Structure 1
Amino acid sequence: MLDLKICPACGDRAQRPAVEEERLVCAACGHRAAFHRLPLFALTGPSGGGKSTVGPELARRLSGEVVVLEQDVLWTGGLRDDVDGHPRFRSTWLRMAAMIHQSGRPVVLCGTVVPPEFEPLPERVFFADIHYLALVAEPEVLTRRLRARPAWRGWDEPRIAEMLEFTEWLRREAAGMSPPVELFDTTEASLTESVDHVERWVRRGLAAHRASEAVRVGAD
């Protein structure tokens, strides 16, 4: 099964998947299934920080190595739950990313998210690590960028003010989150500089995962 919540042996669907010794363990029949447990890269930050600008170029640079996806394409219909943190939406993305990982390529997910919205979810066990990098900018720059967006995106002044408040909170709390959120300020950075930084962040995470896997395999 590509959907890691469904046991390939008995077909039971786990509400809280369990992983033991890098194997998915079915609570119903005890089947232990090998799977690709890869790192997930959450390219986050406020709207206007640069995620949508960086994403396409990052996808071109890392073509064949990772899959770069835009989170907002699933912000629709029944997934737009009103619960704090939007757990239905977040869980769906974690399940989707985990399925893509079974093809052997890690996912870079571009969209606003913070660790407290991913880390407590049952689907978190599908990933070796989740790395968080937030693209931020100074308030006047974010405001200018958001005001320049087309009308259909709905960036009125109250919504812009909310985003500025979120950005201030993120800058203040990022280092203390679990895991910490790395920040990169795009206020004066060129597109090339921004993509360079994100690419290095992804490659650093991939290298750390490969080193960890080598140690684990050696210990086995």
Structure 2
Amino acid sequence: MQTTPEKPVEVEFCLQCGPGTGLRPRGDGSQLRCPRCGWVRLVPLRPLFVVIGASGAGKTTIVPALARKLVGCEVFDVDLTLHIAALGWDAWRATWLQIAHGIAQNGRSTVLCGTITPDQLETLPTRQLVGPIHSCLLDCPDDVLVERLRARPPWRGTDEDFVARQLGFAAWLRDHIEPSFSSYACEPATVVDQVAAWVTSGWIDGSAARLIRSPRRATGRESASHPFARMGPTVRSWARKALSRQTVFP
């Protein structure tokens, strides 16, 4: 018996109307609105930073030091979730936008280090969950890239075809992504400082500064009237007790 396929669940749906009704951006994108009932959800549009480079450019190498340097960000090697690519490359990329969205709800921005390009993110349904996307290139000379790739252990599967594809990708990136930072001309610590300075400049330019500004604090009357107003102290009390017992169970 032939059945009618179910309508896919929207990435962000209305909690009043259900999974079949997707929310749509409103105004500057900081709100998602239900087209049916008008329910609105606020979106913390923090900027997303992407450090792009061909395989072997040094992206993974700088992640730990960059994470220590950028105390206001969460820094990730995108290969951390590479197993999700089994569901499709777009599913993998969309997952990183959802992670960045979740981190933004905690008041922090996200820095991704990997081979994801801006155009691959712009067309995803989850693009509406993050603020402006800034990208920079981590690069090195072709002969250095080849040397690094050929020095990888056999299990990485770095054959000559892979090397040739990465050289082509590196050439494309040089034509399309800026600014560019060299992982060969400078010591790793210097590269980290340069990338960190670039991220910081993204925070304080006109648009990014507006997007990461702390939200308006509710007045005493608004806070007292909110149905969840008394939950904060309760959750904090439970968290302190849980940590003191070194357990996560209430």
TM-score category (smaller protein): 0.7 to 0.9
After TM superposition, the structure 1 = structure 2 runs for residues 129-208 of structure 1, keeping only pairs within 5 Å, are: 129-174=132-177, 181-208=178-205
Structure having greater relative contact order (Cα 8 Å, sep ≥ 6): 1
Q: What displacement does 1:35 show?
A: 2.6
Equivalent residue for 1:20, pick from 19, 23, 27: 27
What do the CA deviations read for 1:64-112 (whole angstroms, capped 9, x no partner)? x11011211221255452xxxx322211211121112111110101111
Which residue number corresponds to residue 239 of structure 2? none
C-alpha distance in structure 1 between counterparts of 2:195 and 2:212, whole Å: 25
Q: Which moved more, 1:36-45 or 1:116-125?
A: 116-125
In the superposition, relative to structure 1, how do residues 138 and 78 fare at CA in structure 2: closer, same or farther (>3 Å)? closer
Secondary structure in 2 aligned to 1:149?
A: coil
Work out the number of aligned pairs and report it: 203
C-alpha distance in structure 1 between counterparts of 2:60 and 2:183, whole Å: 13
In the superposition, relative to structure 1, how do residues 202 and 78 fare at CA in structure 2: closer, same or farther (>3 Å)? closer
Contact 1:18 1:125 in 2 (8 A): yes
Letter in 2 for 1:190: E
Q: What displacement does 1:206 show?
A: 1.1
TM-score of the two chains, using structure 2 as the length reference: 0.73
C-alpha distance in structure 1 between counterparts of 2:84 and 2:179, whole Å: 31
C-alpha distance in structure 2 between counterparts of 1:17 and 1:153, whole Å: 42
In the superposition, relative to structure 1, how do residues 150 and 13 fare at CA in structure 2: closer, same or farther (>3 Å)? farther
Contact 2:14 2:22 in 1 (8 A): no
C-alpha distance in structure 2 between counterparts of 1:29 and 1:16, whole Å: 10
In the superposition, relative to structure 1, how do residues 78 and 169 fare at CA in structure 2: closer, same or farther (>3 Å)? closer
**Which of 1 and 2 has greater Rg?**
2
Which residue number corresponds to residue 178 of structure 1? none
After TM superposition, the structure 1 = structure 2 runs for residues 13-162 of structure 1, keeping only pairs within 5 Å, are: 17-21=24-28, 22-63=30-71, 65-76=72-83, 79=86, 81=88, 86-162=89-165
What do the CA deviations read for 1:40-76 (whole angstroms, capped 9, x no partner)? 011111111111011110011123x110112112212
Contact 1:19 1:125 in 2 (8 A): no
CA-based RMSD of the aligned residues comes to: 2.4
TM-score of the two chains, using structure 1 as the length reference: 0.82
Letter in 1 for 2:170: T
Structure 1: tracts of 5 or more residues without a match: 175-180
Q: What displacement does 1:130 show?
A: 0.4
* Sequence identity percentage: 35
In the superposition, relative to structure 1, how do residues 37 and 214 fare at CA in structure 2: closer, same or farther (>3 Å)? closer
Secondary structure in 1 aligned to 2:54?
A: coil
